[in-house]
Chains A and B, each alone.
Chain A
Amino acid sequence: MENLLNIFIKSIFVDNMIFAFFLGMCSFLAVSKSVKTAMGLGIAVIFVLLITIPVNFLMEKYLLKKGAMIWLGEGFADVDLSFLTFMVFIATIAAMTQLVEMFVEKFSPALYNSLGIFLPLIAVNCAILGGSLFMQEREYENVLEATVFGVGSGIGWLLAIVSIAAIREKLKYSNVPDPLKGLGITFILTGLMAIAFMGFMGIKL
């Protein structure tokens, strides 16, 4: 239990997807103009991470790793498909986002309308593929740990995008030098926020 809590806190604050690894920056910069849309995209990212990371964990464990296919029989003990990792992960992600989209559309039209165009775009958000690749690199032991990591990263991402959106909303009223307006100042702000987030470094429960 303690271990899970540790992974959770760590993935939100210490290894924050945006402030420590810059993952999902494209949508982070493009969609952070208002808090409302930022919130929608953040929730969609949590949702998709929650589903894709455990699925990719199982893919990795029972299909890709060296000797992972042993459950098919002795003859498969030597098969090593790890070079197919990228292909399998991205296919899973694309398929899962499509499924999630159809599912949400059917069962919760209100949520579907608020997420709007963000859902399909998430397939190409680096935070999602990055989550799966980090999951593989850090070698989590079971599905539960991987899932907790996924949800934690998603929450961290939501936190980051909502806070930058709030700052940008206020920024409209400040006097920024012309060439720095828009993109430039957002970059510098994100950098400053990342420095603040570094205060969490080394936290261990």
Chain B
Amino acid sequence: MDNQEKEPMFSAKNLKLLTEPFGINNPITVQVLGICSALAVTVKLKPAIVMALSVTIVTAFSNLAIAALRKYIPDRIRIIVQLVVIATMVILVDQLLKAYVFDVSKQLSVFVGLIITNCIIMGRLEAFAMANKPWPSFIDGIGNGAGYGLILVVVSFFRELLGSGTIYGYPVLEKLGIFNLGYESNGMVILPPMALIFVGLIIWFQRSRSKSLIEK
């Protein structure tokens, strides 16, 4: 307890927890967690952003809850306890989405529910929250959720721009008059397989920049 009081809220260590998932410790491209939902919701920017926010919230708060409870959870049943905590958070998020952004919630369909089995959350609970204090765990949750969101936003930005010629629903290419020059949207980019290929390209890009991540 003493230690925590001495440590400032945003010490260098905590800041690192927040920023590392954006780069060298990204949950999707480096830790390979949470791919399932990442790919299916990236056709348009809007559902991707909503999904990123939901995952960040669930990761942060379930990390916080599990970190606070970590000393009272028996080891044998910890998976079930974690699932119950996550499921509760996801139910809250799902009900909120249904109440305030119903159209997006319809688009995301089963993928909101699938946040429960999103490996990022379980992975962070197991790897971080079970062994750390609530506040760093909370920051770690936000960092990883946002790192996941970053990839989602990048992929969906390109897919929306190339596939339907819009950004966040705004017809950019049409306003710029590019369609008049004979350009056509690439319908292929909207199809699910292209999400995989885009993530593959992002991984390629990232690893050719930071050589330490290259697999042997």
* Residues of chain A having any CB pair with chain B under 8 Å: 19-26, 29-30, 83-87, 89-91, 94, 120, 123-126, 128-130, 133-134, 137, 177-188, 190-192, 194-195, 198
Question: How far is it, in angstroms, between the C-alpha of A49 and the C-alpha of B100 when the chains are bound?
Answer: 33
Residues of B within 8 A of A25 (CB): 35-36, 39
- Give B77-119 as 1s and 0s: 1 = Cβ < 8 Å from A's Cβ atoms: 0011001100110110011000000000000011001101111
Contact (A94, B192) CB under 8 Å given A124-B117, A124-B122, A179-B214: no
CB of A129 within 8 A of CB of B116, answer yes
Contact (A184, B203) CB under 8 Å given A22-B192, A179-B208: yes
Residues of B within 8 A of A195 (CB): 191, 193
20 A-B residue pairings within 8 Å (CB atoms): A23-B114, A25-B36, A86-B116, A87-B88, A91-B83, A94-B79, A94-B80, A133-B113, A134-B110, A177-B204, A179-B208, A180-B204, A183-B29, A187-B203, A188-B196, A188-B197, A191-B195, A194-B192, A194-B193, A198-B191
- Supply 13 further A-B pairs (C-beta < 8 A) apart from A90-B117, A126-B114, A187-B203: A22-B39, A22-B192, A26-B33, A86-B113, A87-B87, A89-B113, A94-B83, A133-B113, A179-B203, A179-B206, A187-B196, A187-B197, A188-B200
Residues of A within 8 A of B196 (CB): 22, 187-188, 190-191, 194
Question: How far is it, in angstroms, between the C-alpha of A102 and the C-alpha of B32 when the chains are bound?
Answer: 30
CB of B91 within 8 A of CB of A182, answer no
Question: How far is it, in angstroms, between the C-alpha of A184 and the C-alpha of B119 when the chains are bound?
Answer: 19
Count chain B CB atoms within 10 A of each CB in A87, A89, A186 and give the residue with the most. A87
The number of inter-chain residue pairs (CB within 8 angstroms) is 140
CB of A19 within 8 A of CB of B192, answer yes
Which secondary structure dominates where chain A touches chain B?
A: helix
Least Cβ distance of B44 to chain A in Å? 16
Q: Is B141 an interface residue (CB 8 A)?
A: no
Contact (A187, B113) CB under 8 Å given A83-B91, A90-B83, A181-B214: no
Count chain A CB atoms within 10 A of each CB in B94, B119, B196, B215 and give the residue with the most. B196
Q: Is B194 an interface residue (CB 8 A)?
A: yes
Least Cβ distance of A192 to chain B in Å? 7
* Residues of chain B having any CB pair with chain A under 8 Å: 29, 32-40, 79-80, 83-84, 87-88, 90-91, 94-95, 109-110, 113-114, 116-119, 122, 191-197, 199-201, 203-204, 206-208, 211, 214-216
Which secondary structure dominates where chain B touches chain A?
A: helix
Question: How far is it, in angstroms, between the C-alpha of A62 and the C-alpha of B215 when the chains are bound?
Answer: 50
Contact with B110, one of A124, A130, A184 (Cβ below 8 angstroms): A130
CB of A126 within 8 A of CB of B84, answer no
Count chain A CB atoms within 10 A of each CB in B33, B201, B204 and give the residue with the most. B204
Residues of A within 8 A of B94 (CB): 86
Question: How far is it, in angstroms, between the C-alpha of A133 and the C-alpha of B108 when the chains are bound?
Answer: 12
CB of A192 within 8 A of CB of B193, answer yes
Residues of A within 8 A of B90 (CB): 86
CB of A125 within 8 A of CB of B88, answer no
Residues of A within 8 A of B192 (CB): 19-22, 194
Residues of A within 8 A of B201 (CB): 184, 188
Question: How far is it, in angstroms, between the C-alpha of A49 and the C-alpha of B91 when the chains are bound?
Answer: 23
CB of B36 within 8 A of CB of A23, answer yes
Count chain B CB atoms within 10 A of each CB in A125, A177, A178 and give the residue with the most. A178
Contact with B116, one of A90, A120, A177, A183 (Cβ below 8 angstroms): A90
Count chain A CB atoms within 10 A of each CB in B35, B116, B117 and give the residue with the most. B117
CB of A133 within 8 A of CB of B36, answer no
The 9 A-B residue pairs with the shortest CB-CB distance in the complex, in nearest-first order:
A187-B200, A182-B215, A191-B196, A194-B193, A179-B207, A191-B197, A188-B200, A25-B35, A179-B208
